[in-house]
Amino acid sequence: MTSLFNKFQEVVKTLAESPTDVTSIRDLKHLFILTSCNRLGRNADKAVTKDIIEMANKSYAAELQKKIQENIHFQITNFCTAMNDILLPDARKRSRKEEAPPQSDAFAVGKSGPPTDRHAIPETRQLNHAEVSQSLKDRIGYTLKVKPSLMPHQKAGQGLLINGEADAGTVIAIYPGIIYGPAYYQYIPGYPRIHARKPYMITRHDGTVINAQPWGFGGEIREVWDGLTVPEITPNVQSTGKDGPQLVWRVLSKPLEGIGVGDVLERRNPLALAHFANQAALGMHQNVMACPYDFPLTEMDMRTYIPNVSFANPEVVNTRRFGSFWFSSKNSESNVPVLKTLVLVAARALCDEEVLVDYKSTNMKR
């Protein structure tokens, strides 16, 4: 089995060192192989691994996208289970209703409506962000830290570092914040120059914009979060000890009419730090890949660990059920609202190093 894992690592290394001007289908093949082999685990049969590589070369883009979404969702499900084990006093006593409040209006930032019932927030263990982060590392082998970047230039500022080890194909981080569809660009702070001096904003290949600045470094509680309070994140913030960097908080200068409805989110989420990942410098290779992920809002018991809220109504997409999962499909069986977020996937095995991504090669704008 060791030789099989070594062979998989050689395939990953070849893909990771490919030229950065890869095409979209090349990225899909890469992500499909990474996430599929990761799902199989180190003890996968050699023939199955060869089948995955062959499938990547023969499948259409839509088929690859569907399988990538399924693989990512599988990992997110395991992550949510680990977070429940850490934070919920007695997982056996909780119910799906207790885990997440009614979702009819709660996940729409720009939608008016009655405030979310805070009493629907389940009781959680009294752990701070650092303690949750360490507990997650104990369970899955890694967590994330925001520290001064290791990039070899003075203006690198902050960087995202993985603390621990993760295999290739692992979901390393989730991009948090407010999600804007193209119809709501005019509401993005700084519009129309939405990317000018906005280091914590990213655009997916489908035009969806995620503004992570309101999320900042997260928080210390599970709460109704609507993205109204925005932390000012300085390029070279200094740590004040175990509690992490000091932040200066402010409120959006132009509150939006009807805003004020958020969703119950776990602000101690250790993986909700993808926005601190730096662009790989010239001559360096990325060690993670940015991958769009459409989280189905039907998964209410996982919702609190997805660090995003949608401006206005979440997008409804045509989906088809595969087992317990819902994924995009042209021939739909149902319409399901989704949060169009983004994750970072390890392009190779990682160990105690800075997380670097090449946004240009993955058709992302930042």
pLDDT of residue 261: 57
Taking the C-alpha atoms of residue 157 and residue 136, their distance in angstroms, rounded to an integer, is 26
How far CA 272 is from CA of 55, 121, 158, 164, 179, in Å, comes to 32, 20, 15, 16, 14
Taking the C-alpha atoms of residue 160 and residue 163, their distance in angstroms, rounded to an integer, is 10
Which of 22-31, 182-191, 288-297, 306-315 holds the top average pLDDT? 288-297
Q: Are strands 288-296 and 325-328 parallel, antiparallel or unpaired?
A: unpaired
Taking the C-alpha atoms of residue 155 and residue 174, their distance in angstroms, rounded to an integer, is 24
pLDDT of residue 97: 44
- Mean per-residue pLDDT, 345-365: 85
160 pLDDT higher than 90 = yes
- Grade residue 121 by pLDDT with cuts at 50, 70 and 90: confident
- Mean per-residue pLDDT, 205-215: 93
- Mean per-residue pLDDT, 153-167: 89
pLDDT of residue 84: 97
The residue among 45, 57, 30, 277 whose CA lies nearest residue 169 is 30
Mean pLDDT over each residue of the chain, to the nearest integer: 78
Per-residue pLDDT of 319-345, as tens digits, reads 554 444 444 544 444 688 999 999 999
- Mean per-residue pLDDT, 152-164: 86
Burial (Cβ within 10 Å: 0-12, 13-18, ≥19) of residue 98: middle
pLDDT of residue 36: 96
5 pLDDT higher than 60 = no
Higher pLDDT, 151 or 125: 125
240 pLDDT higher than 80 = no
288 pLDDT higher than 50 = yes
pLDDT of residue 195: 65
11 pLDDT higher than 50 = no
Per-residue pLDDT of 87-105, as tens digits, reads 998 754 444 444 444 444 4
pLDDT of residue 231: 64
Report percent pLDDT > 90 for the chain.
52
pLDDT of residue 234: 54
The SS3 call for residue 27 is helix
- Edge-to-edge strand ranges of the sheet holding 158-166: 142-148, 158-166, 350-351
Per-residue pLDDT of 249-279, as tens digits, reads 333 434 444 344 579 999 999 999 999 999 8
Q: What pTM did the predictor assign?
A: 0.78
